[in-house]
Amino acid sequence: MDEVESVENEDRLRPQRLADYIGQKDLKEVLNIAIAAAKTRKESLDHLLLYGPPGLGKTTMSLILATEMGVNCKITAAPALERPRDITGILIGLKPGDILFIDEIHRLNRMTEELLYPAMEDSRLDITVGKGQSAKTRSIPLPPFTLVGATTKVGSLTSPLRDRFGLIQRLRFYELDELTLIVQRTANLLKVEVTQEGAEEIARRARGTPRIANRLLRRVRDYAQVKSIASIDRELAGTALDLFNVDAMGLDWTDRLVLSTAIEQFKGGPVGLEAIAAATGEDSRTIEDVYEPYLLQIGFINRTPRGRVVTEAAYKHLGFFPFG
């Protein structure tokens, strides 16, 4: 599957309304109030910062907000906003009430960030014309808009940027029953037959993340199709996911490599992130952003001032004895 097809499939599976969005109950309650209040006042939504591990629905939520408010949603990412003209072109093109979604907002460069300050606070774009002593600042009025920022590292945002968001909300990992509903909903959209137990097995291995649940379902669907099996049950889902190296706790090959390396080469820790990255050949940021949040969530590693420590639960899961 190429990248374009993957994006199209992901868009097709996204819920369109807040009522259809499964999970994140607290966040939905907050946003329902914000939407109702904004509509009553006939104003734009307040700027919103969403943070949490990848794959939990930050982009989907921004698209839903646009639908609920009856406006457009412009999607971009901080690394794509390298030059001032990148962000100015987007801001000038916004219509009243539109939503601007910036992914990885913690990676904005200083110049782009400073251009956003007056835009967020006063619906104004300040552009410097000329150079040196002849330079002048020209202010361009902007229509009121809503900035939705997404980040996996809320602590990496500068205070001036973070303080300009009226709403700051955390997305949490999903519970098993929520992910099971998501798998069932996706299976229905993909016209795949799956039993309750089959959906639960896929959900159990999805690392608390809807994006992963949908990806695993597609892989199990492929397996069932090749084996000419009409319905996905628990046994078939387990067999297929074992084949794809996703174990009963949702750990993949890289998760197990990170844990086993920390155990075998560093006696379970404490060990620094850079040391683990060097020993495994994985990028340290990828380990920290993609793998570590789930390992922390299920209690397989702990963070300490001296580094990461593998827990007894991880030793037992991987078959390393004795602990310590």
Is 128 annotated as catalytic? no
Q: Which of 162, 211, 215, 221 is an active site residue? A: 211
Q: Which of 60, 88, 98, 103 is an active site residue? A: 103
Q: Which of 59, 112, 151, 186 is an active site residue? A: 59
Q: Which of 58, 207, 215, 308 is an active site residue? A: 58
Please give the Cα distance from 250 to 246 (Å, whole number).
Answer: 6
Is 247 annotated as catalytic? no
Q: Which of 112, 152, 180, 209 is an active site residue? A: 152
Is 316 annotated as catalytic? no
Is 58 annotated as catalytic? yes
What 3 state SS string does the chain have? CCHHHHHHHHHHHCCCCHHHCCCCHHHHHHHHHHHHHHHHHCCCCCCEEEECCCCCCHHHHHHHHHHHHCCCEEEEEHHHCCCHHHHHHHHHCCCCCCEEEEECHHHCCHHHHHHHHHHHHHCEEEEEECCHHHCEEEEEECCCCEEEEEECCHHHCCHHHHCCCCEEEECCCCCHHHHHHHHHHHHHHCCCEECHHHHHHHHHCCCCCHHHHHHHHHHHHHHHHHCCCCEECHHHHHHHHHHCCCCCCCCCHHHHHHHHHHHHHHCCCCECHHHHHHHHCCCHHHHHHHHHHHHHHCCCEEEECCEEEECHHHHHHHCCCCCC
Is 103 annotated as catalytic? yes
The Cα-based distances of 82 to 110, 113, 131 in angstroms read 10, 10, 20
Q: Which two tokens stand for residue 2?
A: 């190429």
Instruction: Tell me which residues are annotated as active site.
Output: 58-59, 103, 152, 211
